[in-house]
Amino acid sequence: MNLIIDVGNSYVKLAVFDKEELVEKKSVKARCFLEAVNNIGNKYVEISYVIIASVGRLDHSDLKALKKRFNVFVLDVNSKLPFKNLYATPKTLGIDRIALVCGSVSKFSDKNVLIIDAGTCITYDFIDSKNNYYGGAISPGIGLRYKTLNVFTANLPLLEIKMPSELIGDSTENAIHSGVIYGVIKEVDGIISEYKEKYRDLTVILTGGDAKFLSKQLKSSIFANSNFLLEGLNYILHFNLNE
């Protein structure tokens, strides 16, 4: 069994895999991280290896304690990857994006794949059928767009995500919902269409915190998988252990 640890800004995602099968996952606040790991370790004594992503956000003492109990693999820009990285600045490629591309190699190694991660930012990553990774795009996520309108204007309120009932907003709040949500939908559908013009056999993966919300609105045919990053981390752990 493997324990997958994805460290975010405020929360840490933990997932237990038995080979390729996801057995359990949970999200905890960073301050509760070590307690949650110990509880999982006590529950699943068969855990052999741990992989950590975004370790820079993890308290040094927590990492030290983790290494005392488990065999720990830290994913960074120097880790061996199951794809050819053609990014012009490979050292700046985010660990989360690396994990997503590894998930693509694991599931769709012989296909052209566009991975869309709808979280704080919306990232687009493209890898071709020969496992060449080229890069993609980064744009503000849904929540970030709402927050930006509030922070950088004098009078616009901060709103919760809501699907507008009409295209034309008949109030300030409805206009914000229309601008943000339809803007994101049109962006994502448009980018998918552009990629499909160039790669007609394209497979599209949608993941991230807003994936469930967006998947219901998009016109394009996609595979929605909220666990794609965790699966990618599990795959890259196996890849490095078997090298």
Strands 132-140 and 113-118, sheet pairing = unpaired
In the chain, the largest separation of any two C-alpha atoms, in whole Å, equals 59
- The beta strands (E) that lie in 68-120 are given as 71-74, 84-85, 113-118
Contacts of 242 (CB under 8 A, 6+ apart): none
Q: Over 27-66, what HEC string results?
A: EEEHHHHHHHHHHHHHHCCCCCEEEEECHHHCCHHHHHHH
Q: Is 160 exposed, middle or buried (0-12, 13-18, 19+ CB in 10 A)?
A: exposed
Of 6, 62, 96, 125, the active-site residue reads: 96
117 catalytic residue (yes or no): no
DSSP letter at 157 equals: P
Q: Which residue has the tokens 């980018």?
A: 191
H or E stretch at 99: helix 95-108
Q: Which residues are catalytic?
A: 96
